[in-house]
A and B are shown apart, each in its own frame.
Chain A
Amino acid sequence: MTILETLKGAELGKLLKNGLSLDENRNGILARASETGHYDGIKTLTLKEKDPIKYERIFSKVRAGLVNSREVAKKIAASPIVEQEGELCFTLYNVAGDCIATSTGIIIHVGTMGAAIKYMIQNNWEINPGINEGDMFTNNDCQTGNVHPCDIATIIPVFFEGYLVAWVGGVTHVIDTGAVGPGSMSNGQIQRFGDGLQITCRKTGVNDTPLRDWLHESQRNVRTVKYWILDEKTRIAGTSMIREMVQETIADEGVEAWDVFAMEVIEDGRRGLTSRIKAMCIPGIVKTVAFVDVPYTHPDVAVPSPFAKLDSIMHAPCAITVKSDASWRLDFEGCSRWGWHTYNANPTAFTSGIWVMMTQSLVPTERVNDGCRYATQFRLPKGTWTNPDDRRTAHADAWHFLVSSWSSLWRGISRTYFGRGYLEEVNSGNSNPCNWLQGGGINQDGEIHAVNSFETAACGTGACAMKDGLNNAAAIWNPEGDMGDIEIWELAEPLLYLGRTQKTNSGGYGKWRGGNGFETLRMVHGSCDWTMFFMGNGYMNSDWGLMGGYPSATGYRFEAHNTGLVGPGGRIEAGKEIPLGEDLNPDDRLWENLLGPDAEVKRDKQCITTEAMFDNGDLYLNYLRGGPGFGDPLDRLHSGKQSIEEDLNENYILPEYAKKIYGVVYTQDAEGVYTVDSAKTTAAQEQIKKDRIKRSVPVKEWMKTERQNILDNKASPQVKQMYASSFALSEPFLNEFKTFWDLPAEYNLLESSLGIPTYGSTKTMDISEMPDCKPVIMTEE
């Protein structure tokens, strides 16, 4: 017996009216696009120009159907991540897997589900396992374009009169995928093999019925089974509704019109982006960079393999070139290597995620579709964290690096908005939305459980060039910011709220300040065998501030065990004061005075940890970060709205730092109300300007001392690791570095010289080396 690649009786070219296989059809589109610069070679928008009302009518039906289906389907889910935070999204694709339109929600999945469809097309799924009406496919494979394993996509084909006419995808962010660490974006695991269940475009249903083997297998591989089941029902319901809507629309408008529309709409989207770039940006080059700390030598980071035990730094430089034809190119030459942690990203996650951000500034319309991608060139060098060249990489918290690098892009492109006067669009770059409170064990209902608090969806936003950032408002990855209701989180997690308040002093200072984040103090309650961990930035911060504004505050960790709060004789029973949620100045360590004598407190900068054991009565501080500031702080208004006085009275800033940064002079009345003395403040600010001149040195002078530090190899191991990994991957970056610092021609810094583990730096194996596997590549490498 021989093993056949094709199912018996299956034939290529039966799905489309034109007789081409799906792969041939898609290759034709790509060839025409690269030849003409227009999607599918469409130079004239025939339908839109000849019958604009029909064109708009089809678009409106499709878009309304997508949004409506999402709202209805959302009600099926029980997971607060989906039901409260709206972490789901439905998208409609043409037969080539290019997005026509999408619902609201986590629209990064426009690209990720598109990549899964393209993978099925390119690998001839049409002859094995077959693509038929009523089929369901499930994908969450990070090597096939998914962001991280917890985003589960259900994808179904749409047929009309026997031919494939579209695809529909629905995605939800599930609470757990059975990774080594509990929670959807966990760490602890350092390779794909611990990163949770990964499903590669598997046929999981036929005749609109999920297959029993799939249900049994998937459900026993995750911790949170009830949520898993309801999430799948949510996706199936939503995609089915949309399929019906598309079939009705085609019946009403005619299949010929649909075929034209499904291609033209993408060319229309491409033109939409270029016209907006031309209207708002400055052509030329904008350079940005972002960094993230990966502090893995700390004892509270337990990893299975010794080669993961090192401190490192993610490096993401980007050159944004806005071209004269109003397309743009984003080149990430110089990025650091992928690593043995869960923050790696693949190119599709990177490129499609950009649109989540751009819909909040550059293309704030419902018309975002794959056309934007065709107006954008991405270059993500192979081997970097944005494009790993090894199939072992873990991705559970790819967002950690992704949002940090995007924050710098937002800051960079904002410089061009500002340059020509569109101040209302400027964003100093949002916060890195974290901490991620995660963990698991046995919950208050006695069930195996895992948690990932999506309070993170409401961090501080960056300052604008004409107003302050918003407090506890949004996250870069989901335009619909929402912290969720306390009552719902308490049902979902065995964690009581001892307090929830905005986080004083967490936003960056400036003429316009960054929005503050917020903090919630949680006490473990009713659980058994419970663990939790921290996931966020601590030793460094990925945002910078813009044009004189300060970066926002970095993170810190507070956890307390053996607190003496609960149980017989505990502080609660005794009616004594307990910590209630506002850690005003963390350096004061006031909560430590309100715990029992044997309490063990961890209060430090180690904001990435792995599972730690928590008993009932233990405390965990969830500190959600603030956003960066804009402009010289000395330009901030003294009183009135959005002023230093308001900052003091609303508790947005600690008085000590209002004095240090803004030079404010104030009085305080008996009720504690602050009044700023403007004349004295102005005088103090004049002195600050003189102090700045006195303590600073000319940049060219300082460069001599910094150059000597480089030649003397004076830097921490993690800083050296970052440069060495970027130098090894990028000669252009090394050359740029050498030129800037005027270093000798032979200068280099090798990873092998640093005395730290370098597994993965010399020999790797890419997914493309797997048998019978043609990965989808949509970027320059």
Chain B
Amino acid sequence: MSTYTKQEVKQLVDGTLAWDTVHQMISMPKDADRYKLYMEVIQEKLSYKHKVIMALGPHLNLAIRDGDEEIHAFCDCGKDFGHYKGNWKLNANIYVRDTAEKMDQVYPRLMAPDTTWQVYREYSCPDCGTMLDIEAPTPWYMCMHDVQPDLKTFFEWVGIPAPKKI
């Protein structure tokens, strides 16, 4: 099994890792301590005190909330998106591109969806304006609850004691 340094994992996250190493990561069996190093790398970039346990996106993480130790989703700016068993999207802001004019800001008209078939739903952080996810469903569609992790099993798999309030 291959191993990588924390510096290499940081470079992976930053998109600056040498291609040879990336290629090795892709072609070799996975390194078991990746999760641990990845969490350290993410934590060091953040200014909040909550302890990160899983990444939902480049700027959105599940973390153990400082104080009550509940697991919530947090934007990098510190905005709390609610308990991990709920859907963080319900606490986000949304901008729906549901007209041809709104789509004109994204693609030439002939290369954009027809909004009577499909709309874009742009979910962003109400505090810092970071784009957290974009859905492209038909009108009326439910907000997707993308990931509902089984944290108990996950921590067994990575061989680390689970947080108290999973």
Cβ contact within 8 Å between B140 and A424: no
Answer whether residue A283 sits at the interface, using C-beta atoms and an 8 A cutoff: yes
Near B by CB (< 8 A), chain A positions 685-726 give 688-693, 695-700, 702-703, 706, 709-710, 715-716, 718-719, 722-723
Supposing A284-B147, A741-B142 touch, asked if A654 and B54 sit within 8 A by C-beta, the answer is: no
Complex contact B126–A696 (CB within 8 A)? yes
A642 to B14, CA, bound (A): 13
| CA of A709 to CA of B59, assembled, Å | 32
Which residue on chain A has the smallest CB distance to residue B129? Answer: A689
Q: Name the residue of chain B whose CB is nearest to the CB of A286.
A: B147
Decide if B90 touches A700 in the complex (CB within 8 Å). Answer: yes
B132, A285: Cβ atoms closer than 8 Å:
no
CB distance from B137 to the nearest CB of A (A): 7
User: Do A642 and B107 have beta carbons less than 8 Å apart?
Assistant: no
Instruction: State whether the Cβ of B13 lies closer than 8 Å to any Cβ in chain A.
Output: yes
B111 and A547 form a contact (CB under 8 A): no
Q: How far is the CB of B71 from chain A (nearest CB, A)?
A: 13
**Nearest CB in chain B to that of A625: its residue:** B111
Question: Which B-chain residue is minimally distant from A549 (CB atoms)?
Answer: B134
Partner of B116, one of A420, A509, A690, A716: A716
Q: Which residues of B contact A283 (CB under 8 A)?
A: 149-150, 153-154, 157
Give every chain A residue within 8 A of B91 (Cβ-Cβ): 698-699
Which B residues, 78 to 115, have Cβ-Cβ distances below 8 Å to chain A? Answer: 89-96, 105-114
In the complex, A661 has a CB within 8 A of chain B: yes
Stretch at the interface among A103-111, A201-209, A537-545: A537-545
| Contact across chains for B34 and A692 when beta carbons are under 8 A apart | no
Contact with B along A531-563 (1 / 0, CB 8 A): 000000011110111111111011110000000
B130 in contact (CB, < 8 A): yes
Check B158–A506 contact: CB distance below 8 A: no
Q: Which of B111-166 contact A (CB under 8 A)?
A: 111-114, 116-118, 120, 122-124, 126-151, 153-154, 156-158
Q: How near does chain B come to A539, taking the closest CB pair, in angstroms?
A: 4
The closest CB in chain A to the CB of B143 belongs to A699
Is the pair A654, B145 in contact by a Cβ cutoff of 8 Å? no
* Nearest CB of chain A from residue B116's CB, rounded to whole Å: 4
Instruction: Indicate which residue in A278, A424, A466, A657 contacts B107 across the interface (CB closer than 8 Å).
Output: A657
Please encode chain A, from 268 to 289, with 1 for each CB lying within 8 Å of some chain B CB and 0 for all others: 0000000000111011111111
| CA of A543 to CA of B120, assembled, Å | 11
The reply on B67 being an interface residue by CB < 8 A is no
Look across to chain B and name the residue whose beta carbon is closest to the beta carbon of A418.
B55
| CA gap between A266 and B32 in the complex, in Å | 26
Q: Report the minimum CB–CB distance from A753 to chain B (whole Å).
A: 16
Could you tell me if A587 and B110 are in contact, using CB atoms closer than 8 angstroms? yes
Are A554 and B106 interface neighbours, CB within 8 A? no
Q: How far is the CB of A506 from chain B (nearest CB, A)?
A: 7
A550 touches B106 (CB 8 A): yes
Name A511-539 residues within 8 Å CB distance of B.
511-512, 538-539
Q: Which of B92, B106, B127 has the most CB of A within 10 A?
A: B106
CA distance A554 to B54 in the complex (A): 33
- Identify B117's interface contact among A284, A326, A698, A718, CB under 8 A: A718
Given contacts A420-B35, A696-B94, contact A291 B112 (CB under 8 A): no
Please tell me if the beta carbons of B113 and A541 are within 8 angstroms of each other in the complex: yes
| Interface residue from B94, B114, B140 paired with A709 (Cβ < 8 Å) | B140
Inter-subunit contact B93/A698 (CB<8 Å): yes
In the complex, which residues of chain B have a beta carbon less than 8 angstroms from the beta carbon of A548?
57-59, 130-134
Nearest CB in chain B: distance from A576 CB, A: 26
Known: A424-B25, A699-B143. A689 touches B109 (CB 8 A): no
- Are the CB atoms of A631 and B94 closer together than 8 Å? no
In the complex, how many angstroms separate the beta carbon of B102 from the nearest chain A beta carbon? 10
A586 with B110: CB separation less than 8 A: yes
Contact of B35 among A324, A421, A547 (CB under 8 A): A421
Residues of B close to A633: CB separation below 8 A? 131
Question: Nearest Cβ in chain B — how far from A544, in angstroms?
Answer: 5
Whether B38 is near chain A, meaning CB under 8 Å from some CB there, is: yes
Q: Is the CB of B95 within 8 A of A284?
A: no
Tell me the A262-315 residues at the B interface (CB within 8 Å): 278-280, 282-289, 291, 293, 313
Q: Given A421-B35, A467-B15, A587-B109, are A287 and B144 also a contact pair (CB < 8 Å)?
A: yes
By DSSP majority rule, is chain B's interface helix, strand, loop, or mixed? mixed
Give CA–CA (A284, B62) in the complex, Å.
Answer: 15
User: Is the C-beta of B30 less than 8 angstroms from some C-beta in chain A?
Assistant: yes
Question: A289, A326, A466, A696: which contacts B137 (Cβ < 8 A)?
Answer: A289
Inter-chain contact A654/B140, CB cutoff 8 Å: no
CA distance A287 to B147 in the complex (A): 7
Interface-centre pick from B56, B139, B145 (highest chain A CB count, 10 A): B139
- Cross-chain contact of B114 among A291, A540, A550, A654 (Cβ < 8 A): A540
- The residues of A that contact B142 with a CB separation of less than 8 Å are 736-737, 740-741
Q: State whether A544 touches B13 (Cβ < 8 A).
A: no
Assess whether B140 is in contact with A719, with CB atoms less than 8 Å apart.
Answer: yes
Indicate whether A421 sits within 8 Å of B34 (C-beta atoms), given known contacts A416-B147, A553-B112, A693-B93.
yes
Could you mark each residue 659-699 of chain A with 1 if its beta carbon is under 8 Å from any beta carbon of chain B, else 0?
Answer: 01100000000000000000000000000111111011111
In the complex, what's the smallest C-beta–C-beta distance from A501 to chain B, in angstroms? 16
Q: Is the CB of B12 within 8 A of A423?
A: yes
Q: Which residues of B contact A129 (CB under 8 A)?
A: none
Tell me whether B64 is interfacial, beta carbon within 8 Å: no
Contact (Cβ within 8 A) B113 A540: yes
User: Cβ of A278: which chain B residues have Cβ within 8 Å of it?
Assistant: 157
Please name all residues of chain A whose beta carbon is closer than 8 Å to the beta carbon of B137 when the two chains form the complex: 289, 291
Central interface residue in A289, A421, A723, by most chain B CB within 10 Å: A421
Interface flag for B46 (CB, 8 Å): no
> Residue A764 at the B interface, CB < 8 A?
no
Considering the complex, give the chain B residue whose CB is closest to the CB of A719.
B138
What is the CB-to-nearest-CB distance from A34 to chain B, in angstroms, rounded to a whole number? 23
Contact (Cβ within 8 A) A693 B129: yes
Residues of B within 8 A of A555 (CB): 111
CB atoms of B57 and A540 under 8 A apart: no
Complex contact A313–B106 (CB within 8 A): no
Minimum CB–CB distance from B9 to chain A (whole Å) comes to: 7
Known contacts A279-B29, A539-B117; A693/B58 CB under 8 A: no
Interchain CB contact under 8 A, A284 and B131: no
A719, B35: Cβ atoms under 8 Å? no
> CA–CA, A693 to B138, complex, Å?
24
Min distance, Cβ B134 to any Cβ of chain A, angstroms: 5
Cβ–Cβ < 8 Å partners of A425 in chain B: 26
B124 surroundings in chain A (CB, below 8 A): 692-693, 696
With contacts A289-B144, A586-B110, A696-B126 known, is A719 near B139, CB below 8 A? yes
9 nearest CB pairs, A to B: A689-B129, A421-B38, A540-B118, A696-B93, A553-B111, A547-B57, A284-B150, A556-B110, A284-B149
> A residues engaging B (CB < 8 A)?
278-280, 282-289, 291, 293, 313, 322, 324, 326, 364, 412, 415-416, 418-425, 465-467, 505-506, 509, 511-512, 538-541, 543-551, 553-556, 585-587, 603-605, 631-635, 637, 642, 654, 657, 660-661, 688-693, 695-700, 702-703, 706, 709-710, 715-716, 718-719, 722-723, 736-737, 740-741
Known contacts A284-B148, A288-B144, A715-B139, then 17 further A-B pairs from the complex at CB < 8 Å, ordered by chain A residue = A282-B147, A282-B150, A283-B153, A287-B146, A293-B118, A419-B147, A553-B108, A553-B111, A631-B58, A633-B131, A634-B130, A654-B108, A696-B126, A699-B92, A699-B143, A716-B117, A740-B143
List the interface of chain B (C-beta within 8 A of A): 9, 12-13, 15, 17, 22, 25-27, 29-30, 32, 34-35, 37-39, 54-60, 89-96, 105-114, 116-118, 120, 122-124, 126-151, 153-154, 156-158
Q: Can you give 12 A-B contacts (C-beta < 8 A)?
A: A289-B144, A420-B55, A506-B111, A551-B136, A554-B112, A633-B131, A637-B15, A696-B94, A696-B124, A698-B91, A706-B140, A710-B140
